[in-house]
Structure 1
Amino acid sequence: MFLFPGVPAAQQAPESTSHSQNLASFEQALINRYEWGQEQPRTWSIPERLQAHNVPGVALAIIEKNQVVYAKGYGERSALSVSSVDQNTLFSVGSVSKVANATLLLKLVDEGTLKLDTDVNNYLSSWKVPDSRYTRKHPVTLRHILSHTAGFNVHGFPDFLPGETLPDTLDTLNGKAPAKHRAVRVRFTPGSTMDYSGGGITVSQLVASTITKTNYVSLAKDKLFLPLEMSRSTFENPLPESISNVAFAHNDNGKPVALPRGYEAMPEMAASGLWTSASDLAKLVIAINNSYQSKNGFLSQALTKDMLSREQNSWYGLGPRINGEGDSFVFHHGGANNSYRAWIEGHPETGNGVVILTNGSNGHFVHQEIRNAIAQTRKWPVPSDGGFEEPELKN
């Protein structure tokens, strides 16, 4: 079932048998990072590593020269039934949502609807960034928010189980029940340093919906998902139970949780609420790569280069984290909701990239090992241990 009827899923181009076998060599090349000290490190298959980490399933897409060259699922959508994962299976992707949100907001900047360096209170009406000694001379801007230098608190949000009442955006920002956290407030001078904040990203969500007079779910669909043909993507929470081919939630023992529905809800949509597939997220990575390389991309080339440049005092550009230079230049972001772990990575200079989605709390071990195996077998010039150096930030 497609979330957007009439929008077809992209089809993978046929490959020669030899090329396909060469490309799939990473499937048997996973190495447990805890065994690197052995003289002859053992290699594992993806199903073996899923079992070792108690993760039921994983879906991935490999991108080379801005084309999906490999997309596949492994394991099961649920530990309770035989229901195979494929490249179109929906997963909760946690903070990878922030890259989709940033792309949406930058599209509004490209269209002239928003400006990156304007006080966000100029766009807001139902809620305002509270006046404080930090903001009087340094108002919060979208540039600050997307680079996590706005000074906001609230790192992340708890998920909501079936039957729990969900907060709306104002509840979230005001820290009012049924929200489960403190109010979102600025606690240092915007631009002076970095502190990762899902609370700040929720402010950007309100900016987008307020200025366009459109609810965020519809806005993302119209401005981002439909243009990029991301037919298996939505910010709707809870995910409607009528949607098919969904990866269900599992804890670190691989046991099903969030029953009877089988998955949590993440009402803080821009920060952590995206449901999507490996094939769809690959389209987003490709769109960002293409926009960096071409003047005719989804975003303007100049704005994409701004997006993919580290902001002062931050590890981030405008949305993704940024590392490396030249062919080793990488944008990336991880995602971690209660029962799901996700990873996306793009190489703007070469057009390469990867998407890895899992439906278990230990999924970060799986996506690290798969990513390393892909990088090693495809000879990508990026750190093979998954480690990215971070700059020293001001206090």
Structure 2
Amino acid sequence: MLKLQYCIVFLLFSCPLLAQSYSSEVENRIRQVESNLASWVEIEGQPRWTLEERLRHYKVPGISIAVIRDYKIEWARGYGWADVEEKRRVTPQTLFQAASISKSLNGVAILKLVERQQLKLDEDINTYLKTWHPSADSGKITLNHLLSHTAGLTIHGFPGYEVTDTLPTVEQILRGEKPANTKEVKPAFTSGKRMQYSGGGTTISQLILTGVTGEKYDVFLQREVLDPLGMTGSFFTQPAPQSKKNLLATGHHRNGEPVKGKYHVYPEMAAAGLWTTPTDLAKYIIETQLSYAGQSSKVLSPAMTKTRLTPYINPSSALGVFIRKEKEHTYFSHNGGNEGFTSTYLGSLDGGNGYVIMVNSDNFDVANEVVRSIGLTYGWKDFHQTQKIKTVTVPADTLRQYAGTYKLGNTTVVATFANNELRISIDGGEPLLAHFSSVNEFFFVEFPPLVKFEKGAKGFDIVAGADRFVKQ
């Protein structure tokens, strides 16, 4: 009876009766992850939050989590709503838009063709392009450049299309021609000079794959990458197949409102088109880890996997994946953000550990807090990096002096004093509570760094690193 009441009262949380059961040891770790969320800063005397509390705080309908330990999925669980209106809960089978994480699986597909000698990583891409070519010369562009974001190309990301929109072809997207809703993908500077993130460049690799194979992108990726990895619930098909509709999460904006039409459609499949689950992405991570260790080759050989995970030009950017070197280990990872969806994954290059977190909201803050809780629970120090700060009480008269409007370029910051608190809004966003570590230095629990008020021409200015916001 108590369990039933628990489910009724906490409607935003997944009912334990509906979740897969694990060993008592694992269930204990799951409870620890659920109850130890923390910000980048820990205020002395402030307790940690529960996942339920933070979902409500951030207006996030649902989240799905998978944790990898010793080359195995230790647990996967969903929380909250996949679709509030339809009363569908998030389960481990709920599909989320992976957004830019799609680029990691695209990298696997391209390197599979390299391994088959159908493509060469250092060949000029114009060798493979037949229906579109870059409109300007920026030097030799190769697949190495496209996959590592070092081609010097434009178009960072794509907004997607409403479900009722006419979808453009890949060539129309690259040319910036209607019905495409983005500008032309073109060189901004000479290739190989530096990294500039470009979903446009990844879309070129999509066109190359379909041209070389003569197959539809989603069909090739399903047969040659997703299915061999065991990602049988995932797909790149856009729009999503009707048969999958009851498994799709609905995207939401930061204010908690659902995306019009529930989600956007992304014909830029290689850059943003993957629908998947944390469980399926964990299978990709584990296979990558095992292949890197020379123990598996379900899709790529160990040698090609090492090529995929080797940074190219930029020390953090490999081929469809980013490399992070922390104090204790080196990791491969990627984040994703589509309209109404955010996600992240990370896997260690040794030890077989990692996580996947997917959220049906534009707000990624809760995912960052879950990462810290995972790190704390499992003793993975690289994941749990917080700074403890003792707060002080600032006199009300001083806080009143800090109130006002501040500007730097096109950014406007408004500080409001009320109820003996100072709350600060950035460009009209939700006002955030300023916590003071000294009479003039403050911080937000939502994101770093420490910020301070300094004397200025009109009383005080706000200084954040090298940036100075001047009081108006």
- Does TM-score exceed 0.5, indicating one fold? yes
**Superposition deviation, residue 330 in structure 1:** 0.7
Over 3 Å counting, the alpha-carbon distance change for 1:280 and 1:383 in structure 2 is closer
| Alignment of structure 1 residues 52-201 onto 2, 5 Å | 52-132=57-137, 134-135=138-139, 139-201=140-202
The Cα shift of 1:283 comes to 0.9
Counterpart position of 1:304: 305
* SS of equivalent residue, structure 1 residue 102: helix
For the residues of structure 1 that align with 2:175 and 2:167, how far apart are their CA atoms? 14
Secondary structure in structure 1 of the residue aligned to 2:114: helix
Give CA deviations for 1:219-258 in whole Å, capped at 9, x if unaligned.
1011111111211111111213431221112111112222
Distance in 2, Cα, partners of 1:51 & 1:38: 21
Q: Measure how far apart 1:126 and its partner are.
A: 1.1
Is the 8 Å Cα contact of residues 63 and 80 (structure 2) preserved in structure 1? yes
Amino acid at match of 1:264: H
Partner of 2:314: helix, strand, or coil? Answer: coil
Say if 2:26 and 2:75, in contact at 8 Å, map to a contact too. no
Q: Is the 8 A contact 2:326 2:382 kept in 1?
A: no
Whichever residue aligns with residue 148 of structure 1, its letter is: H
Partner deviation per Cα, 1:295-335 (whole Å, 9 max, x = no partner): 53232222222222222235311111111168510111110
SS in 2 for 1:354: strand
1:73-108 Cα shifts (integer Å, max 9, x gaps): 000111223211011100011111111111111122
Q: Which runs of 5+ in 1 are unaligned?
A: 1-11, 388-395
TM superposition shift of 1:15: 4.2
Equivalent residue number for residue 292 of structure 1: 292
Q: Which amino acid aligns with 1:153?
A: T
Matched with 1:8 is none
1:331 aligned counterpart, secondary structure: strand
SS of residue in 2 equivalent to 1:199? helix
CA distance in 2, matches of 1:13, 1:84: 14
Equivalent residues of 1:151, 1:189 under 8 A apart: yes
* Corresponding residue of 1:28: 35
TM-superposed CA distance for 1:122, in Å, is 1.0
**Aligned residue number for residue 238 of structure 1:** 239
Residue 379 of structure 1 is matched in structure 2 by 379
> SS state of the match for residue 159, structure 1?
coil
1:257-281 Cα distance to aligned partner (Å, 9 max, x none): 223xx22111111001111111111
**Mapped partners of 1:54, 1:279: distance in 2:** 24
Task: Report sequence identity in percent.
Answer: 36
Measured in 1, the distance between the counterparts of 2:55 and 2:94 equals: 17
| Secondary structure of 1:247 counterpart | coil
Name the Cα RMSD after superposition.
1.9
- Aligned AA (2:158): F
**Structure 1 residue identity aligned to 2:210:** S
User: Matches of 1:385 and 1:164 in 2, distance apart?
Assistant: 43
Paired residue total: 367
Q: Deviations over 1:109-143 (max 9, x none)?
A: 122221111111111111123451x22xxx11111
Moved more, 287-296 or 58-67: 287-296
Amino acid aligned to 1:91: F
- Paired amino acid for 2:347: G
**Residue type of the alignment partner of 1:25:** Q
Match status 1:252 vs 2:254:
yes
Which has more strand, going by share of residues?
A: 2
Q: Is the 8 A contact 1:77 1:246 kept in 2?
A: yes
| 1:335 matched to 2:315 | no
Distance 1:103 1:326, change over 3 A: farther
- Measure, in 2, the Cα distance between the counterparts of 1:295 and 1:188: 40
SS in 1 for 2:247: coil
Worse overlay, 237-246 or 55-64: 237-246
Q: Tell whether the 8 Å contact from 2:22 to 2:75 is kept in structure 1 after alignment.
A: no
Whole-Å Cα distance in 2 between the matches of residues 47 and 255 of structure 1?
18
Inter-partner Cα distance in structure 2 for 1:205 and 1:353: 28
The one-letter code sitting in structure 1 at the alignment partner of 2:240 is L
Please give the alpha-carbon distance, in whole angstroms, between the structure 1 residues aligned to 2:357 and 2:27. 19
Bigger shift: 147-156 or 309-318? 309-318
In structure 2, do the counterparts of structure 1 residues 288 and 326 end up closer, same or farther at CA, with 3 Å as the change threshold?
farther
TM norm structure 1: 0.88
Higher relative contact order (CA 8 A, sep 6+): 1
Distance 2:336 2:328 in 1: 25
> What is aligned with 2:49?
44
Q: Distance in 1 between matches of 2:294 and 2:148?
A: 24
Structure 2: distance between partners of 1:187 and 1:16: 54
Report if aligned partners of 1:327, 1:347 keep a CA contact under 8 Å in 2: no
DSSP-derived class of the 2:74 partner? strand
Decide whether aligned partners of structure 1 residues 165 and 385 sit closer, same or farther in structure 2, where only a CA change above 3 A counts: farther
| SS across alignment from 1:330 | strand
Using the alignment, how far apart are the partners of 2:303 and 2:257 within structure 1?
46
1:283 paired to 2:283? yes
Aligned to 2:24: 17
How far apart, in 1, do the equivalents of 2:380 and 2:297 lie? 24
Residues 59, 114 of structure 1: alpha-carbon distance in 2 compared, 3 angstrom cutoff = same
What one-letter code is carried by the residue in structure 1 that aligns with 2:193?
Answer: S
Partner of 2:318: 317
| SS of structure 2 residue aligned to 1:217 | helix
- Checking the alignment, whether the CA contact within 8 Å between 1:57 and 1:359 is kept in structure 2 is yes
Contact 1:193 1:314 in 2 (8 A): no
Q: Distance in 2 between matches of 1:326 and 1:301?
A: 25
Contact 2:97 2:338 in 1 (8 A): yes
| 19 and 232 in structure 1: CA distance in 2 versus 1, 3 angstrom threshold | closer
The 2-side partners of 1:73 and 1:173 are apart by 37
**What does residue 414 of structure 2 align with?**
none
1:284 CA displacement: 1.0
Stretch moving more, 238-247 or 97-106: 238-247
SS in 2 for 1:366: helix
**Which segments of structure 1 move beyond 4 Å, counting only runs of 4 or more?**
12-15
Q: Does 1:272 align with 2:277?
A: no
